[in-house]
Amino acid sequence: MNTIEQDIAALLTRVQNMRPLVHNITNVVVTNFTANGLLALGASPVMAYAPEEVADMAKIAGAVVLNIGTLSTPQVEAMILAGKSANQHGVPVLLDPVGAGATQFRTESAQRILREVQVALIRGNGAEIANLVGEATDIKGVDAGESSAGTNADIALLAARKFNTVAAITGKEDVISDGARCLVISGGDALLTQVTGAGCLLTSVLGAFAAVEPDILLAGTAGLTYYGAAAARAAERTAAQGPGSFQIALLDELAKLYPHSIKGYAAIAEAGVKAAGGDE
Ligand SMILES: Nc1ncnc2c1ncn2[C@@H]1O[C@H](COP(=O)(O)OP(=O)(O)OP(=O)(O)O)[C@@H](O)[C@H]1O
Ligand SMILES: Cc1ncsc1CCO
Ligand SMILES: [Mg+2]
C-alpha cells in the first residue's frame, strides 16, 4: 500500500474503534437508511432537530451533518443553531446541499448556511455544487445528470476556495479538493443511483471520518474511498438482483469493511486541475 492508502486505513480503524457520534439534521426520505448505514460502518448516529436541543447535541457530537433534502425555514434555523454550536466547540460541520439549484429556496438556504456556519466539508453531486458556486448546471429534482471528473475537479477547487471549505463532488468518479489539491476517487457502482439517499448516507459517512481526523481532505478521501469500495463489493454480489438487494448488501459491506477492502474495488489519484481562482 502507498502512503495515502495507509493513512485512510488508519482512519477506518479509528472510526471502528472510536464509534463517533454523528449528529444528523437530515431529510425525511433517508433518515432510517442513514442511521443504519452509520451503524453498519461502526459510527453512532443520532437524529435531533428540535431548536431546544440542537446546540446541546451538536456540542457533544463528533461531527454534525446538515442535509437540506426536505428543508423548511424552521429547520434551516435549527441547522444554523447546531452549526454555530459545533463551530464554537470545535466539532466539524458537513453540508449536503440537496437540490441546490432546483429551487431558489434551496440555493439560498445552502448559501445562507455556508455564510453563517464554518462548514468543514460540503458534498453534493455536480449540479448542486456548480449551482452553489454560480456555475449554473441543469438540475431536475435532487438528481444530477452526468458530468466529467475533469470539470468536477475544477468546480470542487472553486467551491473549496469560495466557501473556505473542503468540497467533494460525487458521480461516476468522485473528486475532493481543499482549494489547493484535488483527488479523484474511483469505485462505487451505477446501482448507487437507483437507491435514494445513497449520496445522503455518504455525506454522513464522511461525517464519521471527519469526527476522527482533523485533516478534512484526508478524512473525506477516506470516506469516499471506503464507501466506493463497499458499494462496488455490494454490486458484485447483487448486481443481477437489482436495487433492493443492493441496498441491503451495501449496509452489509459497510459493516464488513477492513483496511484492505479497497484493493481492486476503489482507487485514489491526484487530479490535474486548472488554476481556477487566479491566486497561484
Ligand atoms: N454512475 C456511477 N457509477 C458509480 N458510482 C456512482 C455513479 N453515480 C454516482 N455514484 C456514486 O454514488 C454515490 C452517491 O453519489 P451521487 O452523486 O449519486 O449523490 P446524490 O446525487 O447526492 O444522491 P442522492 O441525492 O440520491 O442521495 C457516490 O458514492 C458516487 O460515487
Ligand atoms: C428524493 C428526495 N427528495 C428530497 S430529499 C430526497 C432524497 C435524496 O436526496
Ligand atoms: Mg444528494
In the chain, domain spans: 3-270
pLDDT of amino acid 65: 99
- Three-class DSSP category at 269: strand
Q: Tell how far the Cα of 96 is from the centroid of ligand 2, in angstroms.
A: 11
Confidence tier at 280 by pLDDT (50, 70, 90) = very low
Q: Is the CB of 195 inside a 6 Å radius of any atom of ligand 2?
A: no
Q: Tell how far the Cα of 97 is from the centroid of ligand 3, in angstroms.
A: 7
pLDDT of amino acid 139: 59
Least confident window among 2-16, 75-89, 131-145, 173-187: 131-145
Complex-level ipTM beyond the 0.85 threshold: yes
Strand ranges, E, within 147-230: 166-170, 173-177, 182-186
- Three-class DSSP category at 25: strand
Specify the pTM.
0.94
Residue 141 has pLDDT above 70, yes or no: no
User: Which listed CATH number (3.30.450.40, 3.40.640.10, 3.40.1190.20, 1.20.58.220) goes with 3-270?
Assistant: 3.40.1190.20
- Of 122, 38, 28, 120, nearest in space to 75 by CA: 28
In whole angstroms, give the CA distance from residue 208 to residue 191.
23
pLDDT of amino acid 279: 40
Residue 1 has pLDDT above 60, yes or no: no
Atom 10 in ligand 1: residue holding the nearest Cα = 171
**In 3-state terms, the chain is what percent helix, strand and coil (to 5)?**
50, 15, 30
Work out the average pLDDT over 48-69: 98
In whole angstroms, give the CA distance from residue 199 to residue 192.
8
Work out the average pLDDT over 206-225: 98
